[in-house]
Amino acid sequence: MILTTKYPYALAETLYSGQAFRWDPILNGEVHEGILDGVRVRLSQKEDGIHCSAGCEDSFNEEFIKKYLRIEDDLSLIYSKLSSDSYFTIAKDFYEGLHILKQDPWECLVTFICSANNNIPRIKSLVKGISECCGENTKDQFGHFYTFPEPIAISEVGELGLRQIGLGFRAKYVAKVADMVVRNEIDLKSFRFLEYQEALTELLKFPGVGDKVANCVLLFSMDKLQAFPVDVWIKRVLRENYLNESDESIPDTKLRDWAQIRFGEYAGYANQYLFHQRRLT
């Protein structure tokens, strides 16, 4: 199956820009393999579009992958709305076609709780560990792989099990969050339908979820393109390009407010480009 794109799509940049952590290059890096909705998917970018194949063809759905890749986001509109910002424009020229992904909220939530005080290789290894420990061992035409576990499976493994995997102090957060979802104390699936501020408030009720992680989940899995995660890299960007050197001590939430006013409804896209640009230089 070949996906044609109306706008430029920087596939590798998008998959490895630190928003998703279960993609790996295979076959000399020409092909990217990941697991979506319990199905192993292989993607590669060619002249005529993005080639997709699945380990299990009958459970494979073109619409699903288009949604995941947000292939229909109107990049010209987004770029034009952000074009007055010269730093964004520089980043855009470097990474034209970089997209935000639309991931599964549950997986995204767990992943970004794991991201706290961690680097990317470690986040990847933790997500892999969680999948191998609690996920379903599944077989397809390419061989065996593990799905990302449902809340109940993580809940059963518990804090101690998660510590064994190496989650450290994050183990109790992930275990508690899994419990809360299993007990239906919080209906994560419904957050997508809430307004940004309301969904943010709800996400902050989870232990291990602060403003940064919540904004990542909102941006990368709940269609809230105005979400603006403030992490160390974005702080560097803001400090170096927009603020006075002296304003070291502005709280993260204030920085977020400021950025959301400046960049508007597509602040999250601005965030991703600025983040990517700063991280790779």
Partner DNA sequence: ATCGAACCTCCAAT
Partner DNA sequence: AATTGGAGGTTCG
Q: Which residues bind DNA (CB under 7 A)?
A: 17-19, 115-123, 125, 163, 166-170, 173, 206-214, 229, 231-234, 249, 251-252, 275, 279
d(CA 81, CA 264): 8
Q: In angstroms, what CA-CA distances link 221 with 34, 248, 251, 258? A: 16, 31, 25, 23
Output the smallest distance, CB 160 to DNA, in A: 10
DSSP string, 151-205: HHHHHHHHHHHHHHHT-TTHHHHHHHHHHHHHTTSS-GGGGGGS-HHHHHHHHTT
How far is residue 264's CA from residue 140's CA, in Å, rounded to a whole number?
Answer: 43
Query: Which CB, 48 or 248, lies closer to DNA?
Result: 248
Q: How far apart are CA 8 and CA 11, in angstroms?
A: 9
Residue 124 Cβ vs DNA, minimum distance, rounded to whole Å: 10
Q: Which is nearer to DNA, 60 or 273 (CB)?
A: 273
Helix (H, G, I), strand (E, B) or coil at 32: strand
Distance set, CA 93 to CA 97, 171, 273 (Å): 9, 40, 10
Least spacing, CB of residue 149 vs DNA, in Å = 20
Whose Cβ is closer to DNA: residue 35's or residue 214's? Answer: 214
Distance CA 91, CA 272 (A): 10
User: Closest separation between CB of residue 56 and DNA, Å?
Assistant: 29
Q: What is the nearest approach in angstroms of DNA to the Cβ of residue 216? A: 8
Q: Quick one: tokens of 7?
A: 């706008």
Structural tokens at position 220? 């990368």
- Cβ proximity to DNA, 55 vs 229, nearer residue: 229
**Would you state the structure tokens that stand for residue 143, as one six-digit string?**
């061989």
Q: Give whichever of 28 and 249 is closer to DNA, judged by the CB atom.
A: 249
**Minimum CB distance to DNA smaller for 96 or for 231:** 231
Which residues 6+ apart lie within 8 Å of 216 measured at CB? Answer: 19, 108, 112, 115, 227, 229
Q: How far is the CB of 233 from DNA (least distance, A)?
A: 5
State which residue, 35 or 219, has the beta carbon closest to DNA. 219
Question: Chain-centre distance of CA 228, in angstroms?
Answer: 12
Nearest distance, CB of residue 231 and DNA, angstroms:
4
